[in-house]
Amino acid sequence: MKTTDATVLDEPKIRGRATDETIEPAIESRPRPTTGVKEAKIYIDGKFYSEANAKVSVFDHGLLYGDGIFEGIRFYNGRVFRLEQHLERLWNSARSICLTIPMTRQEMTEALLETIRQNHLRDGYIRLVVTRGVGNLGLNPEQCKNPSVIIIVATIALYHEDFYRKGLSIVTVATRRSNPASLNPAVKSLNYLNNVMARIEANLASADEALMLNDAGNVAECTADNVFIIKHGQIFTPPITAGALQGITRSVVFDIAGEFDIKVIEADFTRHDIFVADECFLTGTAAEIVPVVKADGRMIGNGKPGPITTRIIARFREMTHKTGKPIFD
Ligand code: PMP
């Protein structure tokens, strides 16, 4: 069927009978990583679905254009950690890309808590996604009248405990963090190809994480984590303007450093400053706080997680287990 409407494609020429096999199992037949939750329930727009039935349209601009936003949130010991801050960042991302989240913060909080309860977990990870919604094949978001809200709850094990005891190796990659004037890294968007490209480079170099620089050659962040260094008892991290996400875990480190009476300085620095640092660590909701002991083949400090990093990690673990929004009462 030919049509002048560019959004309607030719019908596929299927020879012979269109069997169930050719139509039905497009998603189910592929191997799928699971949430790790037995009989997981996934929230999509107010309803719960099994993993196999949790699907969105191929016309959702979240899929077609990476047009949407997300948050990764942790809950520990029956409490959601820093929920308010995550929702604040989600709403900021939405405002920046002119996306109207189709519910209030109170409704979103209730949906998140209820999704955790439905999955019967006390510790885990939440992936909260708001897509632009279904439109046509053109990229204009005005076509998308109904953004979709997806909440996935999963068990999590990002880095083995060994990494926290021994530290990670990072490598500087050629892929630069996207320039804030083109796609601002402060927006936690569904468009992560910049980070994915960097991650591929780290994989090819057999490193644990990729260190991404900005266009000026200063350190921006890693593919899913903020970067900190410690020198002469002071903590340094790149400013958000260097092309870093305003990490929630990053802000927890500011709080912990305040408690310890250690100064945190937001300043531009280069990879040289990492090479000569006394200590280095990364922060992220999934990674938590993880020491870095090697950068581009150079040993950092004495090649072991440093004393300040170790103290910060201990305090962070205490906070995650004692604070947060209660899920079950
Ligand atoms: N930078 C990037 C690019 C991220 O995706 C993330 C989130 N994983 C972070 C930094 C860390 O932010 P947060 O501590 O809020 O998870």
pLDDT in tens, 235-280: 999 999 999 999 999 999 999 999 999 999 999 999 999 999 999 9
Q: What is the pLDDT of residue 240?
A: 96
Claim to verify: residue 181 and residue 207 sit in the same structural domain: yes
Are 212 and 253 contained in the same domain? yes
SS in 3 state form for the chain? CCCCCCCCCCCCCCCCCCCHHHHHHHCCCCCCCCCCCCCCCEEECCEEECCCCCCCCCCEHHHHHCCEEEEEEEEECCEECCHHHHHHHHHHHHHHCCCCCCCCHHHHHHHHHHHHHHCCCCCEEEEEEEECCECCCCCCHHHCCCCEEEEEEECCCCCCHHHHHHCEEEEECCCCCCCCCCCCCCCCECCCHHHHHHHHHHHHCCCCEEEEECCCCCEEEECCCEEEEEECCEEEECCHHHCCCCCHHHHHHHHHHHHCCCCEEECCCCHHHHHCCCEEEEEECCCEEEEEEEECCEECCCCCCCHHHHHHHHHHHHHHHHCCEECCC
Q: Is the CB of 237 under 6 A from ligand 1?
A: no
d(CA 125, CA 76): 9
Other CB atoms within a 10 A radius of the CB of residue 48 amount to 16
Evaluate: CB of 86 within 6 angstroms of ligand 1. no
Asked if residue 293 and residue 219 are part of one domain, the reply reads yes
User: Where residue 292 sits, what CATH number does that domain have?
Assistant: 3.20.10.10
> For ligand 1, atom 7, which residue shows the shortest CA distance?
224
The enclosing domain of 114 has a CATH number of 3.30.470.10
Task: Please tell me the least confidently modeled range out of 27-36, 128-137, 144-153, 162-171.
Answer: 27-36
Among 90, 124, 154, where does a domain finish? 154
The residues, any chain, with a CB within 8 Å of residue 302's CB and separated by 6 or more, are none
Tell whether 150 and 176 lie within a shared domain: no
| 92-101, 114-123, 133-142, 148-157: the lowest-pLDDT one | 148-157
Same-domain status, 182 and 273: yes
- Per-residue pLDDT band at 27 (split at 50, 70, 90): low
Residue 99 reports pLDDT greater than 60: yes
Residue 329: predicted pLDDT: 77
Q: What percent of the chain has pLDDT over 90?
A: 85
Position with higher pLDDT, 312 vs 31: 312
Say if residue 39 is in the same domain as residue 125.
Answer: yes
* Among 131, 167, 189, 140, CA closest to 287: 167
Q: For residue 1, is pLDDT > 50? A: no
The pLDDT of residue 51 is: 94
- The residue nearest atom 9 of ligand 1, judged by CA position, is 225
Site of tokens 């410690």: 230
Instruction: Tell me the CA–centroid distance for residue 167 and ligand 1, in Å.
Output: 19
30 has a pLDDT exceeding 60: no
**Mean per-residue pLDDT for 98-102?**
98
Q: Give me the mean pLDDT over the 122-145 stretch.
A: 97
User: Cα angle at 128 between 122 and 131, to 5 degrees?
Assistant: 160
- Total structural domains within the chain: 2
**Do residue 146 and residue 271 come from a single domain?**
no
pLDDT digits (tens, 9 = 90+) for 173-230: 999 999 999 999 999 999 999 999 999 999 999 999 999 999 999 999 999 999 999 9
Instruction: Record the pTM.
Output: 0.90
Over residues 43-63, the pLDDT tens digits come to 999 999 999 999 999 999 999
**Residue range of the domain that includes 300:** 161-322
The catalytic position among 188, 263, 294, 322 is: 188
Does 89 lie in the same domain as 42? yes
Task: Note if 188 is an active site residue.
Answer: yes
Q: Check whether residue 42 and residue 114 sit in a common domain.
A: yes
Is the CB of 225 within 6 Å of ligand 1? yes
Whole-number Å distance between alpha carbons of 281 and 294: 10
Q: How confident is the model at residue 32 (pLDDT cuts 50, 70, 90)?
A: low
Q: What is the pLDDT of residue 5?
A: 37
Amino acid at 280: C
The answer to whether residues 140 and 221 belong to one domain is no
* Pair (209, 299) in one structural domain: yes
